[in-house]
Amino acid sequence: MSDEHPGLRKRLEQEARRVASQHRQLDELLGLVAESLSAGERGPAARAFDRFADALLAHFELEDQVYFPAVNGFQSSLVAELESLSDEHVRFRGDLARLRRSFAASPLSDCMKALERFLVDLAAHEGREERVMRSVGNPGPGDEAESAKRDDSEEPGCPR
Ligand SMILES: [Fe+2]
Ligand SMILES: [Fe+2]
């Protein structure tokens, strides 16, 4: 990554930490939903799911409106990856709406199965985002080759 914009680089590193921290908070909220479901408590499970869903929707907004545009402005080679992540947000929003309806009326065992599928998909999504963040802010040992590839293809001084 170029050091021509140290202020922007610092901001991106802060945003990356913020997003990763929110992922951990979301995982904790999802854990509370699973606990209530396992205990067979529909009301607490539905309320815990509402808290989780609201937090996740706010998180998607932060990524779509603030974080992804900032990354794209700094490193335009990531545009396809960022668009793909935003497309997944659209799919997740639909999944959340369906899950909210399930928590109101479906058997709790069905809710648990649907929640488990959602959890697997969300974990994969979060993993991709955190890999993108590392490649922008702080390349790790496995990211050097990708970083070097990007540096070769970037046009210095022409961020989009
Ligand atoms: Fe996301
Ligand atoms: Fe995220």
Three-class DSSP labels, the chain: CCCCCHHHHHHHHHHHHHHHHHHHHHHHHHHHHHHHHHCCCHHHHHHHHHHHHHHHHHHHHHHHHHHHHHHHHHCHHHHHHHHHHHHHHHHHHHHHHHHHHHHHHCCHHHHHHHHHHHHHHHHHHHHHHHHHHHHHHCCCHHHHHHHHHHHHHCCCCCCC
Average pLDDT score, the chain: 85
What architecture is domain 6-136?
Up-down Bundle (1.20)
- Please check the confidence at residue 29 and state whether its pLDDT lies above 70: yes
- Please check the confidence at residue 103 and state whether its pLDDT lies above 50: yes
Least confident of 18-22, 65-69, 111-115, 147-151: 147-151
- pLDDT-above-70 percentage for the chain: 82
- pLDDT-above-90 percentage for the chain: 65
- Please check the confidence at residue 16 and state whether its pLDDT lies above 60: yes
Domain boundaries, the chain: 6-136
How far apart are the CA of 77 and the centre of ligand 2, in A?
A: 19
How far apart are the CA of 107 and the centre of ligand 1, in A?
A: 29
